[in-house]
């Protein structure tokens, strides 16, 4: 019934109340009618969805995922489910989790004493995927516009607010596209997702704006309304070198990889909004990124967001077999290990580009949550897989 009191639209009038499930011991029930820290709630991951903050994060996560799928669907993309178990890694994108059915207490040995993985389930070493990129490129070169959206695993001993051992990643791949097209796609995707949240999750965003990050809604509205700042890596270096009154711990010079402090300065001090940095030195980027005509940079781009740093990493891929082979040789990468990837260039190659978007990082950005461990239901981090 309508409430006569201020600040609430209605009230319930009960004729009868029956308790379905009592709290067994109120003294020890961890979720209390009081404020809890997010750190504490992580320790009761199975009960924290009952809180308003995690509940709101869960709803925003759902709507964000739907918005991403809808964006791609309406743009003519096909969702490709690349494998979770793989034999290849995207050039050291991260340490790997091994998948094996061998008996650890009694490992089969080859003649030279090494473990004989020929006797393992897949007849070879197998791992959890660190990226669906190489596999999705195969479908891109057939279906033109494709994307993956699934779990990704990295066994790195990273203990930060931005890393998970198990996280979800969105990886579109588009044919007949260059780096600028790639950056445009990333910007369109993010803006579409934010717009959808602003209209479809108003209530939850208002909650995060009030409790987690003041000005959150205005921040998102501002991003949707403005252009991302685009700059070449070389320009970013010059801007950082001219940064007045700022001492960087790591000196800035052409050729360095941008450090967190540099990325943070570019987005938070210089542009005050997302920045797309493009065309990095080839030495600091992966072998599959397309070599530019200057011979010293590759067509790579990162989207940097204030507060969380890199949320997108992408590139135009090297579609020329001879250049790709030369790059692999430079890195000492075994050509045979990537034979099927080379086939994509041998049998009818076209320019193509793609990127990876970290789902939990994006979620952290749109909710204001400062730790990606609160952006996924059951976070997996080093030493933590209890729930």
Partner RNA sequence: UCCCCGGUAGCUCAGUGGUAGAGCAAGCGGCUGUUAACCGCUGGGUCGAUGGUUCGAAUCCGUCCCGGGGAGCCA
* List of residues contacting RNA (CB under 7 A): 3-8, 11, 26-28, 30, 32-37, 39-40, 42-43, 93-94, 131, 154, 156-165, 167, 169, 250, 257, 259-261, 263-264, 309-313, 356-358, 360-361, 370-373, 381-384
Task: Report the distance separating Cα 125 and Cα 99, nearest Å.
Answer: 8
What is the gyration radius of the CA atoms in the chain, in angstroms? Answer: 24
Closer to RNA at the Cβ: 352 or 373? 373
What torsion, rounded to 10 degrees, do the Cα atoms 308, 310, 311, 315 define? Answer: 170
Least separation in angstroms between CB 304 and RNA: 9
* CB-nearer residue toward RNA: 117 or 359: 359
| Residue 352 host element (H or E) | strand 352-358
Torsion-angle region of 307 (φ positive above 0: left; ψ -120 to 50: alpha; else: beta): left
Distance CA 80, CA 71 (A): 15
Given a contact cutoff of 8 angstroms between Cβ atoms, the answer to whether 158 and 361 are in contact is no
CA 184, CA 111: separation in Å to the nearest integer?
A: 54
User: Considering beta carbons, is residue 117 or 275 the nearer one to RNA?
Assistant: 275
Q: Taking the complex as a whole, how short is the minimal distance between the CB of residue 102 and RNA, in angstroms? A: 24
C-alpha of 349 from chain center: 28
- What minimum distance in Å lies between the beta carbon of 211 and RNA? 11
At 86 the three-state DSSP class reads strand
Least separation in angstroms between CB 386 and RNA: 9
Smallest separation (angstroms) from RNA to the CB of 121? 26
If 0-12 CB within 10 Å is exposed, 13-18 middle and 19+ buried, where does residue 125 land?
middle
- Of the pair 89, 204, the CB lying nearest RNA is at 89
Q: 3-class SS at 78?
A: strand
Smaller CB separation from RNA, 67 or 372: 372
Nearer to RNA, 12 or 105 (CB): 12
Residue 366: its H or E element: helix 359-367
Block residue for tokens 């796609």: 185
Please state the closest distance from residue 215 (CB atom) to RNA, in A. 18
Nearest-approach distance from CB 171 to RNA, in angstroms: 8
- In this complex, which beta carbon is closest to RNA, that of residue 274 or of residue 313? 313
């Amino acid at each position: 019934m309508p409430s006569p009191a201020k600040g609430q639209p209605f009230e319930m009038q009960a004729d009868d109340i029956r308790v379905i499930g009592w709290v067994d011991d109120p003294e020890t029930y961890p979720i209390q009618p009081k404020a809890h820290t997010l750190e504490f709630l992580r320790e009761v991951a199975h009960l924290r969805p009952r809180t308003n903050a995690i509940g709101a994060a869960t709803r925003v996560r759902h709507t964000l995922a739907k918005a991403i799928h809808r964006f791609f669907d309406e743009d003519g993309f096909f969702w490709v489910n690349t494998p979770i178990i793989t034999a290849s890694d995207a050039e050291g994108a991260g340490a790997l989790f091994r998948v094996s059915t061998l008996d650890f207490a009694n490992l089969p040995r080859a003649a030279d004493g090494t473990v004989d993985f020929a006797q393992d389930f897949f007849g070879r070493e197998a791992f959890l995927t660190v990226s669906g990129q190489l596999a999705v490129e195969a479908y891109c070169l057939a279906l033109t516009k494709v994307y993956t959206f699934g779990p990704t695993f990295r066994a790195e001993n990273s203990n930060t607010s931005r890393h998970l051992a198990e996280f979800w990643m969105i990886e579109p791949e588009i044919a007949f596209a260059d780096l600028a097209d790639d950056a445009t796609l990333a910007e369109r995707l993010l803006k579409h997702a934010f717009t959808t949240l602003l209209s479809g999750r108003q209530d939850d965003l208002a909650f995060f704006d009030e409790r987690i990050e003041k000005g959150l809604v205005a921040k998102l509205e501002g991003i949707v309304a403005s252009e991302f700042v685009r700059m070449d890596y070389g320009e970013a270096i010059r801007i950082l070198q001219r940064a007045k009154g700022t001492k960087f711990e790591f000196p800035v010079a052409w050729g360095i990889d941008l450090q967190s402090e540099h990325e943070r300065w570019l987005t938070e001090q210089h542009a005050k909004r997302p920045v797309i940095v493009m065309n990095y030195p080839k030495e600091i980027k992966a072998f599959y990124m397309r070599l530019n005509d200057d011979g010293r940079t590759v067509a790579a781009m990162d989207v940097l967001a204030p507060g969380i740093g890199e949320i997108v990493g992408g590139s135009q891929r090297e579609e020329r077999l001879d250049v790709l082979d030369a790059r692999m040789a430079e890195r000492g990468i075994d050509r045979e290990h990537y034979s099927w990837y080379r086939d994509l260039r041998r049998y009818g190659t076209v320019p193509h580009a793609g990127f990876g978007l970290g789902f939990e990082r994006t979620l952290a950005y749109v909710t204001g949550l400062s730790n990606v461990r609160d952006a996924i239901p059951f976070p997996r981090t080093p030493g933590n897989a209890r729930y």
